A = this chain, B = another copy of it.
């Protein structure tokens, strides 16, 4: 089957044309910063046409930045997309724009994990957690070879698991969820708070008032910056606790680690994380941490796989 896979992110839309298990073409475009969900879907449709001008794909899969209501193609909310504060039927809207072809919608980290399990770092493993570190921390869960959606489409929200139940300070540094320690947005808030409290850090020297990117953190870490090292040390511990807990709760064979932040922090970070999971493992409940292998295009590949593998929700019959 020929399928188009789309990864709809807050900054860019990436698409692949996927045929017989291979990427035969790709295309991308910036995501509209302003406007409405209709504008976003127009942009997605234009990328679909760009990667598949002859309309060869039978189905279109799309990974979206938020939990999708199961059994539908509806994305109720997406903080990173303009005007997306209400239910939008992505499947129907995109199908209408693409010659009434079938459209399958799923969460972006879900399809990213599916791609790694089928064609990337997780090949050969049936019980895999794909963890993606970026602005926040998200995950996808493949159990007994099947991507888990959950009854409300929430499965994999590891960023919202609790790793520090007494830390309920609220406010800037969260309430003890993994994302409060290991998500880039909260890590920046922690760094700026420490800077304002009088601790010097190259993190602020590097960016001033601009946003700290993954590369900023990697640079500060390489320079041995105390604040960066300590915040990343906490992030590593929090990740190890959450992942060791996930292994104990659902029993996993493999952790695939991806996302911009993990990529930039590289093998040193990954190996430190793996060691701390060993330290915390229950019984034989250890699982190795492998780097995601499909990079930037994994999400789009996963969306194509999701469209070809599964029964179809929404779109044309």
Binding site for B on A (CB under 8 A): 67, 126-127, 139, 141, 143, 148-166, 175-177, 237-238, 240-242, 244-253, 280, 282-285
Task: Output the nearest chain B residue to A77 by Cβ-Cβ distance.
Answer: B283
Complex Cα gap A156–B164 (Å): 20
Decide: B245 and A245 in contact? CB cutoff 8 A. Answer: yes
Kindly list chain B residues whose C-beta atoms are within 8 Å of the C-beta of A247.
154
Decide: A249 and B141 in contact? CB cutoff 8 A. Answer: yes
Complex Cα gap A245–B139 (Å): 13
Decide: B166 and A282 in contact? CB cutoff 8 A. Answer: no
Kindly list chain B residues whose C-beta atoms are within 8 Å of the C-beta of A177.
282
- How close is A77's CB to chain B, nearest CB, in angstroms? 8
Complex Cα gap A271–B273 (Å): 37
Taking A152-B284, A153-B251, A161-B245 as known contacts, 9 extra A-B pairs with beta carbons closer than 8 A to each other, sorted by chain A number, are A67-B283, A148-B251, A149-B251, A154-B283, A155-B251, A161-B248, A165-B240, A165-B242, A242-B245
Question: Quick one: given A245-B160, A249-B157, are A285 and B165 in contact (CB under 8 Å)?
Answer: no
Decide: A250 and B251 in contact? CB cutoff 8 A. Answer: no
Q: Which of B164, B166, B175, B249 contacts A161 (CB 8 A)?
A: B249
Q: List 11 A-B contacts (CB under 8 A).
A: A127-B150, A143-B143, A148-B251, A157-B248, A160-B248, A160-B282, A161-B244, A161-B246, A162-B244, A165-B240, A165-B241
Task: Output the nearest chain B residue to A238 by Cβ-Cβ distance.
Answer: B165
Complex Cα gap A175–B245 (Å): 13
Kindly list chain B residues whose C-beta atoms are within 8 Å of the C-beta of A240.
165
Decide: B251 and A152 in contact? CB cutoff 8 A. Answer: yes
Q: Give the copy number.
A: 2
Task: Output the nearest chain B residue to A282 by Cβ-Cβ distance.
Answer: B160
Kindly list chain B residues whose C-beta atoms are within 8 Å of the C-beta of A152.
251, 284-285
Question: Quick one: given A163-B163, A280-B162, are A148 and B154 in contact (CB under 8 Å)?
Answer: no
Kindly list chain B residues whose C-beta atoms are within 8 Å of the C-beta of A251.
148-155, 157
Kindly list chain B residues whose C-beta atoms are within 8 Å of the C-beta of A151.
126-127, 251-253
Q: Which of B141, B157, B166, B250 contacts A164 (CB 8 A)?
A: B166
Kindly list chain B residues whose C-beta atoms are within 8 Å of the C-beta of A282.
154, 157, 160, 177
Complex Cα gap A241–B249 (Å): 14
Complex Cα gap A156–B247 (Å): 9
Task: Output the nearest chain B residue to A240 by Cβ-Cβ distance.
Answer: B165
Kindly list chain B residues whose C-beta atoms are within 8 Å of the C-beta of A246.
161, 249
Kindly list chain B residues whose C-beta atoms are within 8 Å of the C-beta of A150.
127, 250-252
Decide: B162 and A241 in contact? CB cutoff 8 A. Answer: yes
Kindly list chain B residues whose C-beta atoms are within 8 Å of the C-beta of A157.
248-249, 251, 282-283, 285
Complex Cα gap A159–B283 (Å): 12
Complex Cα gap A283–B66 (Å): 11
Instruction: Name the residue in A126, A127, A141, A280 with the highest tally of chain B Cβ atoms < 10 Å from its Cβ.
Output: A280
Q: Which of B148, B163, B280, B284 contacts A250 (CB 8 A)?
A: B148
Complex Cα gap A158–B282 (Å): 10
